[in-house]
Amino acid sequence: MSEITNEVKKQIEKRRTFAIISHPDAGKTTLTEKFLLYGGAINQAGSVKGKATAKHAVSDWMEIEKQRGISVTSSVLQFCYDGYCINILDTPGHQDFSEDTYRTLMAADSAVMVIDASKGVEAQTRKLFKVCTMRHIPIFTFINKMDREAMDTFDLLDDIENELGIATCPVNWPVGSGKEFRGVYDRNTKMVEIFSDTRKGTTQGEVRKAALDDPAIAEVMTEEQRARLEEEIELQDGAGAEFDQELVSRGELSPVFFGSALTNFGVETFLEHFLQMTTSPLPRMSDRGIIDPMEEESFSAFVFKIQANMNKAHRDRIAFMRICSGEFKAGMDVYHMQGGKKVRLSQPQQMMASERHLVEQAYGGDIIGVFDPGIFSIGDTLTTSAERFCYEGIPTFAPEHFARVRQVDTMKRKQFMKGINQIAQEGAIQIFQEFNTGMEEIIVGVVGVLQFDVLKFRLENEYNVEIRMDSLPYEYIRWIENTDIDVEKLTGTSDMKKVKDLKGRPLLLFVNEWSIRMTQERNEGLRLAEFAK
């Protein structure tokens, strides 16, 4: 093995790449910011729901995110901490943007699940968790907002186990909650970390530690609280699952931590444990077999996200890619598998949300953004390997809501088409047109209705195009798999509409599910698929 390869291997071993998932309002973006605070990447955390004059959350860079106080697109943040190079993929919590989260999870090696202590497992957490278990991603749980009223600790653990079907192993244990919250007990060191409010998390604060038999404990905890803690710990020690690193790595056991991201309490201890329990970048499956970053010398990566107009001044498109193996160097030529030719990766950048800086080098596990002149699509593979291969594709989801979209000013057709096409290439919306007419009639399909608001907002703000949207009653979409079928002569039902997608592939929209079966019965041999191949 050459010297440079040893250096590359060392760099890859330092990498940790994870996604943060949660239901909206569980405190995911706040937790992300506290990680950045500890890594020295920012000096002051932004209040996600602050007044208009307040600093906004670093990872929420889109104008609509700042106005609404929610994340609508995943963002990528990188920082260093304790010798590790950490790539955080912050994802939108709202289910209307779950498709973006699914794609982002494909680029992560592990996931941090943030749960609101007063609510337990919520609908969106359940949905995202299923994607993690399908991919056997290690899951770490941070139970947030312990400084507010919370569910019983045992009930919270039961909730995770019953709802998500994963065993839990609390690494620490809360002492009270809400006004009675006194800190957490570390089950390994057998020390209590004492909670003190750090003024909404603007400073890191100091963590005081004391043993349970330390007289100083009496100052923060009543005798009754101490007795209850001892009883709970004894119960957990006797009945709870033991920590097993192998089960954690296989995604079958979730280490659980308690704290309050807003006040910074429990965040650093969580980060330290998490870095010890996670692995360096994992191998990825390709059509050539497993590609292991610890063995593969050549550079390889896949595109998991495309974002237009991250910076209004630049008016550019950035393709985000997960490096899976090797070393990246600025300006290098790589082979674009889907395009079938060599391309130069220009203006390589790493992100702090919309803040960007050019990078000279990056390694397996890192996430970089490169300038996209319009040649990349989500799921594309890039490599310098002489033995060509493609990484597994990224699933697309069938839209469930449809609307007819028109520009108000007919003179702005060009801007309208440019804007709607660019936003569609990001994967947030899907565009269809009438099967037998020109481009006049544009139909937009989305997974969640909030995507319509984002589309309207972005077309107005980024492309200066005002639109009108008329919602359509269709709920089901099916691509036509037969290439030899005459779509014009298809006999359908009265609630069926014939359209084609951006690549010219014919498909059908239906209002009722029963119409799908009836259409197949009326057209012998017709093969319909829920997803485009």
3-class SS of residue 174: strand
* 239 contact partners, CB below 8 Å, separation of at least 6: none
- The residues facing 77 across adjacent strands are 88, 352
How sure is the predictor about 459, in pLDDT bands with cuts at 50, 70 and 90?
Answer: confident
Q: Given this model, what pLDDT does residue 38 score?
A: 78
How sure is the predictor about 317, in pLDDT bands with cuts at 50, 70 and 90?
Answer: confident
Contact in structure between 100 and 124 (CB atoms under 8 Å): no
Q: What is the mean pLDDT of residues 266-284?
A: 91
- The residues facing 425 across adjacent strands are none
Predicted confidence (pLDDT) at residue 416 exceeds the cutoff of 70 = yes
Encode pLDDT of 64-109 as tens digits.
444 443 333 445 778 888 899 888 887 654 454 456 667 778 889 9
Encode pLDDT of 205-235 as tens digits.
566 888 888 887 888 888 888 889 999 999 8
Contact in structure between 92 and 63 (CB atoms under 8 Å): no
- The residues facing 332 across adjacent strands are none
- Kindly list the distances between the CA atom of residue 119 and the CA atoms of 97, 122, 146, 156, in Å, as whole numbers in the listed order: 21, 7, 11, 9
**CA atoms of 389 and 138, how far apart (whole Å):** 26
- DSSP letter at 287 equals B
- Supply 421's token pair: 């096409």
- DSSP letter at 391 equals B
Contact in structure between 50 and 44 (CB atoms under 8 Å): no
Per-domain residue ranges for the chain? 20-71+109-277, 284-383, 401-529
DSSP, residue by residue, 429-474: SEEEEETTS-TT-EEEEESSTHHHHHHHHHHHHHH---EEEEEE--
**CA atoms of 184 and 182, how far apart (whole Å):** 7
Torsion angles phi and psi, residue 432, rounded to 5: -135, 160
Q: What is the mean pLDDT of residues 29-38?
A: 82
Predicted confidence (pLDDT) at residue 48 exceeds the cutoff of 50 = no
Calculate the dihedral angle through the C-alpha atoms of 436, 441, 443, 444, rounding to the nearest 10 degrees. Answer: 130
**CA atoms of 181 and 153, how far apart (whole Å):** 12
Axis crossing angle, helix 153-164 with helix 123-134, rounded to the nearest 10 = 50
**CA atoms of 379 and 15, how far apart (whole Å):** 22
**CA atoms of 279 and 294, how far apart (whole Å):** 12
pLDDT averaged over the chain?
81
Torsion over CA: 119, 122, 124, 126 (sign): positive
Q: Of 212-221, 398-407, 411-420, which range is least confident?
A: 212-221
- The residues facing 175 across adjacent strands are 183
Q: What is the mean pLDDT of residues 284-309?
A: 88
Q: Specify the length of the chain in residues.
A: 533
Axis crossing angle, helix 28-38 with helix 267-277, rounded to the nearest 10 = 80
Report which residue type is found at 79.
Answer: F
**CA atoms of 347 and 414, how far apart (whole Å):** 27
- DSSP letter at 326 equals S
pTM of the model: 0.75
Nearest Cα residue to 186 out of 163, 162, 211: 211
Pick the CATH number of 401-529 from 3.40.190.10, 1.20.1250.20, 3.30.70.3280, 2.40.128.90: 3.30.70.3280
Nearest Cα residue to 107 out of 339, 361, 298, 324: 324
Torsion angles phi and psi, residue 138, rounded to 5: -60, 135
3-class SS of residue 13: helix
- The residues facing 208 across adjacent strands are 194
Q: What is the mean pLDDT of residues 253-270?
A: 90
Predicted confidence (pLDDT) at residue 179 exceeds the cutoff of 80 = yes
3-class SS of residue 11: helix
- The residues facing 291 across adjacent strands are 284
Q: Is the domain defined by 20-71+109-277 classed in CATH 3.40.50.300? A: yes
**CA atoms of 187 and 115, how far apart (whole Å):** 21
Q: Is the domain defined by 284-383 classed in CATH 1.10.630.10? A: no
Q: What is the mean pLDDT of residues 123-144?
A: 80
Q: Given this model, what pLDDT does residue 426 score?
A: 73
Tell me the CB-side half-sphere exposure of residue 155, using CA atoms within 13 A: 8
- Supply 420's token pair: 């709607």
Residues of the chain with pLDDT > 70: what percent? 82
User: Which contacts (CB < 8 Å, 24+ apart) does range 194-198 have?
Assistant: 194/220, 195/147, 195/260, 195/263, 195/265, 196/265, 197/147, 197/263, 198/263, 198/264, 198/265
3-class SS of residue 194: strand
Predicted confidence (pLDDT) at residue 377 exceeds the cutoff of 80 = yes
